[in-house]
Amino acid sequence: MESTTEMSVSLLPNHGSWLRYLSFSLDHKVVGIQYLVTGFLFYLVGGVLAGMIRTELATPISDYLSREIYNEVLTMHGTIMIFLWIVPVVNGAFGNYLIPFYVGARDMAFPRLNAVAFWMIPPAGLLLIASFFIGGASQSGWTAYPPLSLRTPALGQLIWIFSVLLLGGSSILGGINFIVTILKLRRPGLKMMQLPMYCWAMLGTSVLVVLSTPVLAGTLVMLAFDIVAHTGFFNPTIGGNAVVYQHLFWFYSHPAVYIMVLPAFGLVSEILPVHARKPLFGYTTMVYSILAIVFLGLIVWAHHMFTSGTPPWMRLFFTIATSFIAVPTGIKFFNWLATLWGGKIALNSAILFACAFIVNFVLGGITGVALAQVPFDIHVHDTYFVVAHFHYIVYGGTVFIIFSAIYHWYPKFTGRMLNEPLGVLHFVLTFVGFNLCFGPQHWLGINGMPRRVSEYDPQFTLMNQISSVGALLMALSTLPFLINVIHSAWHGRLAGDNPWRALTPEWLTSSPPPVENWAGPAPHVEHPYGYGLVETTP
Amino acid sequence: MPNGLKTLTLRASVITFLVSVGLILIGLVVGQRVDMLPLQASVNAPVYDELFRVLFSIGTMLFLGICGLLLYSLVRFRRQAGDFGDGAAIEGNLPLEIVWTAIPAVVVLFVGLYSYNIYERMGGMVPLADHSVVHSMPASDPGSGDRVWGGISSVSGESADLTVDVTALQFAFIFHYPTGNITTGELHVPEGEKVELRMKANDVIHAFWVPQFRIKQDIIPGQPTVLTFTANRPGTYPIICAELCGPYHGGMRTSVVVHDRGDFDQWVTKNTPPVA
């Protein structure tokens, strides 16, 4: 018999009632759903802000928002999308829901810490949004570069700092929990190299979180001292150095890209084999690619600073290190293509979003390698080309995978299927809208439109209007999705326990699962991707 | 090996070869023919555009290749109605995995070496310590000491033909010509001569960007920065601030006017303030 972490049901108040989703629940599945729903609500807020940006940019003159408000909106859009939507959902939501299943545990290693980590997010997010209404939100961009962030209205900037510190703290607590759970809570006999790929992705991501987020925290504390006590760490007029802030900021914020992207790589590695009915291709190289990305991700930060007066040798080093990330990333993409090759692919909403992720991310990766080249970057740095690039990575990449994952795991969460035609409509609107919105921005950046502006040269009007139409389609695409997830929760077709005939452990229990995940002992899954090797009943 | 399988492998190899050749040709044509770059107006610009076209070609090949493979798989290997079987249980293939580790590695190595070459041709690798201007920077800059930060330079080694002091502040650029004592809000430079900008920022970080010159450099408070370029096409081009610098960041733009030598001398004479 295996030992299991025993936890009494009495620890979980209101089990079975929807009220448990509003409680300080210790059930990892409840916490996961809490992250997901909260994150999605913030996504809607961030989306409204994006809509305001695209409305302003539909005309070349600054005529919709005041210039100060526009800068508040773009700062909040970036901050909310990164810290309140993508990071919490792709890590917190799916991580909490899936990791205990994948390691064969009844819950996370530290359930109480887990609940604490989640409950730091709503107040931090509400505080951030509230800053709009109490003296104005931060105006210095999500990067908060000093000296600008020392000169914009202090209250908004301080609230921003406090809020990001809380969110970073939540992220660190989550990261520690994932590392311990994956390393120490594995079902006896379950080897590391038998774990589903998402575990490896979350292990790598959590290492990045734990190593780099404290650096951001320290930096922001120093920035706050500069604002409140005029310490001048980053203020050149009293002996500080503005570029040191940039180094420290990107020491976190470049790994942050991998914190947003690696879990998505993990999720897509779970989704493709199930719907293609094939084993995940090249498991071992996939694992080592993740580890390589984690290592390289930590030593590339200064490629954000090629125009900041960095010395030539430093530019060269960061060019080379950055370019080499393309190698492990390329391996992963070829392995996913090989997973699809020769499969029996069900063309459903989950696989459509996952395949669109491949298309979008490859384009974003190609522009990424180009941007890593110093001479290329010098011209397009801080332009719409960069805006296009990172939206292809974090929206075209990660957000597409979040939607794919919701179509894939919704039956597990609720016991009901999502409506397939609505899902396809959602996909088509999102894919067309996304490419229409961000595709033309490559051209805009190359031809002379800087980022973070509310007015631009009239020669760029047409491309900006195309982009804004794309944004409108993206906004509309959330409607079929919302109708689908809400309607299907009550009226969706009953899913049964394992509608996809999947082999990973979360499907080897009821849907939705019981409090401690399995009625009996945790199953020992040696081949989580054993399609064609293991018998699956239709 | 059975005969049928042999012909199949042969056919697959031929198809793979033809598709690869096709992709390379399409990539080259797209890279050379699709023009999405702004006008070239400095000696840097053609060098930059060469790199751009090579990267665009390689990017097109990879993007079309991967998307093509993906679409083909989705159509060719889609599940037929009522088929609940599994695909072939292939968990990996070492030679194949070595090949597709090698592809990005080779591409990245080539791109890295090539862009290093481009960078050198742009003058980016000139060590700042040897820069001719280090000791000629005005000593009045507070806290500048000996250190000067440098952007990418267009011509290395030789000293500049014209020096202009640039002050960036919320929300304008101010240009001062030490020879002639001209102060202006619009940069005027002669065609074909090396211009050196000695830049400083008064308040927050700004950036100096001329898309037609393909150069950009941050101007950071506390860091006197040098940027050199040689414009080679007469005309008027935008100067754009590319670093968020406050509410009117989008409005922080002016022009650089490239004159031929005669016109430039005329402009200098006309604008030099009379000695009191």
pLDDT attached to residue A12 = 42
Query: Inter-chain contact B204–A347, Cβ cutoff 8 Å?
Result: no
Q: Which of A176-180, A416-420, B159-163 has the lowest mean pLDDT?
A: B159-163
Tell whether the model's pLDDT for residue A14 goes beyond 50.
no
CA A447 to mean position of chain CA atoms? 30
Tell whether the model's pLDDT for residue B129 goes beyond 70.
no
pLDDT attached to residue A9 = 43
Mean pLDDT of chain B: 86
Query: Inter-chain contact B222–A145, Cβ cutoff 8 Å?
Result: no
Q: Which of A479-488, B17-26, B203-212 has the lowest mean pLDDT?
A: B17-26
Element (H or E) spanning B194, and its range?
Answer: strand B194-201
Neighbours of B9 (CB within 10 A): 11
The amino acid at B264: F
pLDDT-derived band of residue B155, with 50, 70 and 90 as boundaries? very low
The amino acid at A47: G
Tell whether the model's pLDDT for residue B154 goes beyond 80.
no
Tokens of A234: 């980053």
Mean pLDDT of chain A: 93
Q: What share of chain B is helix, strand, coil (3-state, %, to 5)?
A: 40, 25, 35
Element (H or E) spanning B134, and its range?
Answer: none
pLDDT attached to residue A315 = 85
Write the CA distances from A59 to A174, A444, B113, B264, integer angstroms: 43, 14, 42, 36
**CA pair distance A265, A262, nearest whole angstrom:** 5
Nearest CA in chain A to B203: A147
pLDDT attached to residue B6 = 65
pLDDT attached to residue B4 = 58
Residue A302, exposed/middle/buried by CB under 10 A (0-12, 13-18, 19+)? buried
pLDDT attached to residue A69 = 96
pLDDT attached to residue A410 = 97
List the single best residue of A57, A383, A453 to mutate versus B (max B Cβ within 10 A): A453
Q: What is the pLDDT of residues A251-275, one digit of tens each?
A: 999 999 999 999 999 999 999 999 9
Q: What is the pLDDT of residues A230-245, one digit of tens each?
A: 999 999 999 899 999 9
**CA pair distance B19, A340, nearest whole angstrom:** 19
Minimal Cβ distance to B242: which of A147, A242, A450: A450
Element (H or E) spanning B184, and its range?
Answer: strand B182-184
Q: Per-residue pLDDT averaged across B160-171, rounded? A: 93
Contact between B215 and B152 (Cβ < 8 Å): yes
Tell whether the model's pLDDT for residue B127 goes beyond 70.
no
pLDDT attached to residue B276 = 58
Tell whether the model's pLDDT for residue B33 goes beyond 80.
yes
Minimal Cβ distance to B87: which of A308, A342, A450: A342
In this structure, what DSSP letter does residue A336 have? H
Tokens of A189: 């006999």
Tokens of B84: 């609940």
Tokens of A36: 């997901």
**CA pair distance A123, A112, nearest whole angstrom:** 18
End-to-end CA distance of chain B: 98
Write the CA distances from B126 to A308, B120, B207, B209, B218, integer angstroms: 16, 8, 21, 21, 18
A462 Cβ contact list (under 8 Å, min separation 6): none
Beta B253-259 vs B187-190: how paired, if at all?
parallel
B94 Cβ contact list (under 8 Å, min separation 6): none
The amino acid at B161: D
Tell whether the model's pLDDT for residue A45 goes beyond 70.
yes
Tokens of A318: 């960061």
Half-sphere exposure of B61 (CA within 13 A, CB side): 20
Q: Which residue has the higher pLDDT, A242 or A538?
A: A242
Half-sphere exposure of A319 (CA within 13 A, CB side): 28
Label residues A193-206 b or e (16+ Cβ within 10 Å = b).
ebbbbbbbbbbbbb
Tell whether the model's pLDDT for residue A190 goes beyond 80.
yes
pLDDT attached to residue B5 = 58
Contact between B180 and B271 (Cβ < 8 Å): yes
pLDDT attached to residue A105 = 95
Smallest CA–CA separation between B16 and chain A, in Å? 15
pLDDT attached to residue B273 = 83
Q: What share of chain A is helix, strand, coil (3-state, %, to 5)?
A: 70, 0, 30
Tell whether the model's pLDDT for residue A104 goes beyond 50.
yes
Write the CA distances from B27 to A256, A337, B33, B60, B61, integer angstroms: 33, 21, 10, 5, 5
Contact between B250 and A455 (Cβ < 8 Å): yes
Tokens of A439: 């595709």
If we measure between CA atoms, which residue out of A315, A213, A313, A336 comes closest to residue A265?
Answer: A336
Q: Which residue has the higher pLDDT, A147 or B275?
A: A147
Q: Per-residue pLDDT averaged across A201-213, rounded? A: 97
Q: What is the pLDDT of residues A314-372, one digit of tens each?
A: 888 899 999 999 999 999 999 999 999 999 999 999 999 999 999 999 999 999 999 99
- Reduced to 3 states (helix: H, G, I; strand: E, B; else coil), residue B3 is helix
Tell whether the model's pLDDT for residue A198 goes beyond 70.
yes
Write the CA distances from A298 to A69, A178, A260, A304, integer angstroms: 34, 19, 14, 13
Contact between B217 and B225 (Cβ < 8 Å): yes
pLDDT-derived band of residue B121, with 50, 70 and 90 as boundaries? confident
Angle at B60 (CA atoms; ends B58, B63), nearest 5 degrees: 105
Cross-strand partners of B198: B165, B226
Please say whether the dihedral angle defined by the alpha carbons of residues A381, A387, A388 and A390, taken in this order, is positive or negative.
positive
Question: What is the reported pTM?
Answer: 0.93
Minimal Cβ distance to A447: which of B38, B104, B222: B38
Smallest CA–CA separation between B264 and chain A, in Å? 26
pLDDT attached to residue B135 = 40
Q: What percentage of chain A reaches a pLDDT higher than 90?
A: 89
pLDDT attached to residue B89 = 87
pLDDT attached to residue B137 = 44
Q: Per-residue pLDDT averaged across A92-105, rounded? A: 96
CA dihedral (B68, B72, B74, B79) in degrees, to 10, reads -170
Nearest CA in chain B to A384: B242
- Reduced to 3 states (helix: H, G, I; strand: E, B; else coil), residue B273 is coil
Q: Per-residue pLDDT averaged across A219-235, rounded? A: 95
The amino acid at A521: P
Contact list, B52 vs chain A (CB under 8 Å): 376
DSSP characters over A135-168: T----STTTT-TTHHHHS-HHHHHHHHHHHHHHH
pLDDT attached to residue A360 = 97
Minimal Cβ distance to B211: which of A343, A347, A447: A447
Q: What is the pLDDT of residues B231-257, one digit of tens each?
A: 999 999 999 999 999 999 999 999 999
Tokens of A398: 């990660």
The amino acid at A210: V
pLDDT attached to residue B34 = 85
Half-sphere exposure of A332 (CA within 13 A, CB side): 30
pLDDT attached to residue A338 = 95
Tokens of B139: 């000593």
Tell whether the model's pLDDT for residue A297 goes beyond 70.
yes
Contact list, B40 vs chain A (CB under 8 Å): none
Smallest CA–CA separation between A200 and chain B, in Å? 18
**CA pair distance B165, B168, nearest whole angstrom:** 10
Contact list, B58 vs chain A (CB under 8 Å): 366
Contact between B187 and B254 (Cβ < 8 Å): yes
My answer on whether omega of the bond before A512 falls inside 30° of 0, hence cis, is yes
pLDDT-derived band of residue B156, with 50, 70 and 90 as boundaries? very low
The amino acid at A153: P
pLDDT-derived band of residue A308, with 50, 70 and 90 as boundaries? confident
List the single best residue of B56, B209, B236, B252 to mutate versus A (max A Cβ within 10 A): B209
- Reduced to 3 states (helix: H, G, I; strand: E, B; else coil), residue A416 is strand
pLDDT attached to residue B274 = 81
Tokens of A470: 């794309």
Q: What percentage of chain A reaches a pLDDT higher than 70?
A: 96
Tell whether the model's pLDDT for residue A205 goes beyond 60.
yes
